[in-house]
Amino acid sequence: MTPLLQVEAFPEKHRAAVRAVAAALAARGREPGEYSAEVAATADGLLEVHARHDSHPADGSWRGDPCGRCCVARYDSLTGEVLRVIGIR
């Protein structure tokens, strides 16, 4: 996984999503610098940014959230908006 704030390390087509998700995390009181991420396209044309908190166990799977801070953000590249952040209340 790539540190969330190392935007230039992501493929160019994912950078806007990564920037938007970092801003969305900050707006929800999280520190984006504490996250690493992977980006995947969904069947419905959105991008999902899987953000793993640094406190997540290195050998842990994505099942559940043992650290309580990981999340998945859904991003619409047509509108440039984060539609939903799943895992942050």
Q: What is the pTM of this model?
A: 0.88
- In tens, the pLDDT along 53-62 reads 888 666 655 5
What pLDDT sits at residue 62? Answer: 54
- In tens, the pLDDT along 2-38 reads 999 999 999 999 999 999 999 999 999 999 999 999 9
Contact present, 46 and 74 (Cβ < 8 Å) = yes
Single-letter code of the amino acid located at 37: A
* Sign of CA pseudo-dihedral 89, 81, 62, 45: positive
Average pLDDT in the chain? 90
What pLDDT sits at residue 46? Answer: 97
Please name each of the domains of the chain with its CATH number: 2-86 (3.10.450)
